Amino acid sequence: MGSIANAWRRMAAVRIYPHWVQLAVSAAGGLAGGALLVVADPDVFEAVVPWLVLSGAVLVALSPRINGARTRRRLPLPVYLTFLVLITIYGGYFGAGAGVLFFALCMLGTPMTAHEAVLMKTPMLFVSNLTAAILFIARGDVDWGAAVAVGAGAFAGGYAAPALQRFIPEPLMRWLVVAGGCVMTAWLLLR
């Protein structure tokens, strides 16, 4: 919410795909992911999660070579939305690394810059997480002390991030995402 509050105008200026369609797909994906978490055996999916995050990091690292120096692909809307719903299902189910996967989708399948991809991941993953959270609240599955602490930190960090990210060069932004994805993969494998 912090990033959305601070950078709404810049997010609205990224007009590659219709915002409301992406938000609706993200909400549906988050709800499906939350429902999957409630009913599925967590061991099966947790075995795959580190490899999903690592795949996203590798794709981000290779995106300049895959796309060429200046050429950028633009996936047809239905294909982009299919990938988006899969990422937001994962986001609603587990969340960790969903930003890396969304960033990889944007770098490989859209003409978005790294800065635009970082901006656009915020509302899509926020809506995905929000719908999953509503499901968890309705079921009574929330540790409110932890939720308030994490929420306050996320809001503060999210509010500051859009102002700071404008000063980070695009290649460095891409490598920060790659490094974060690799660290997250290692953490997920070791835990």
Distances in Å between the Cα of 156 and the Cα atoms of 72, 100, 116 are 33, 20, 20
pLDDT recorded at residue 28:
98
The closest of 175, 182, 176, 173 to 113, measured between CA atoms, is 173
pLDDT recorded at residue 18:
92
pTM to 2 decimal places: 0.79
pLDDT recorded at residue 64:
73
Residues of the chain with pLDDT under 70: 1-3, 5-7, 66-72
pLDDT recorded at residue 70:
46
CA angle in degrees (0–180, nearest 5) for 72-25-90: 85
pLDDT recorded at residue 95:
78
pLDDT recorded at residue 32:
96
In this structure, how many other beta carbons lie within 10 angstroms of the beta carbon of residue 7? 22
Note every long-range contact of 45-53, with CB atoms under 8 Å and residues 24 or more positions apart, other chains counting.
45/93, 45/94, 46/94, 49/94, 49/96, 49/97, 49/188, 50/185, 50/188, 50/189, 51/185, 52/90, 52/97, 52/101, 53/96, 53/97, 53/100, 53/101, 53/181, 53/184, 53/185, 53/188
pLDDT digits (tens, 9 = 90+) for 88-133: 998 998 877 788 889 889 888 898 888 888 888 888 999 999 999 9
The closest of 189, 186, 188, 172 to 60, measured between CA atoms, is 172
pLDDT recorded at residue 29:
97
